[in-house]
Each structure stands twice: as C-alpha cells, then as structure tokens.
Amino acid sequence: KLEKVITNNRVTSIICSLFKIFVNHLNKMRSSSSTWVDGTKSVKKDSLKKLLSSDVHLKAIDLNTKAQLGAAWSFRTKKKLANQYVC
C-alpha cells in the first residue's frame, strides 16, 4: 500500500507501508532498495510499474498475507519454496 507523506498540506513523498513493516526481511533481498521505505519524491508511472512487479514487492505481499493468516502460507510463497528445493 502506497502512502502519502504530507507536510504543510503538500505531498512531500510517497512510501510503501508494507516495505516499512517488513524492512528487515526485505533488506536481505538482492533487489531491495530503501527508496520506498524512506520515501521517494519523484514518482513516475514506470517506477510504479516496476515496483508492483518486483520480487521485493511480491515478497512483501507474501509476508503480509502470512502475518494476517497466521500459520497459513500464501500459494505464491509455497510455490517459490517448492521450486527452491526441487532436485
């Protein structure tokens, strides 16, 4: 979920709330960036498309789903784990 940071009644930056919540898990990923955690002032349509299709964003969604469902894992996470351990 993208959130606006508002200062003096103006949007000063945009952050991803899921990235902020799961920053410790996502920092371990190769493609991780602090841009969406700290906030970005320049948001273009292309950068949003890249964010929404990135492995880091998908992982944040999986972590959020897992947290909301407790012990139940999302299908995407199970599939990724299964693919990692195929002989």
Contact of 43 with 14, CB cutoff 8 Å: yes
pLDDT in tens, 1-30: 788 888 899 888 888 888 888 888 888 877
pLDDT in tens, 58-70: 888 888 888 877 6
Q: What is the arithmetic mean of pLDDT over 30-49?
A: 79
pTM over 0.85: no
Contact of 15 with 39, CB cutoff 8 Å: yes
Q: What is the mean pLDDT of the chain?
A: 77
Is residue 85 pLDDT above 70, yes or no?
no
d(CA 9, CA 66): 35
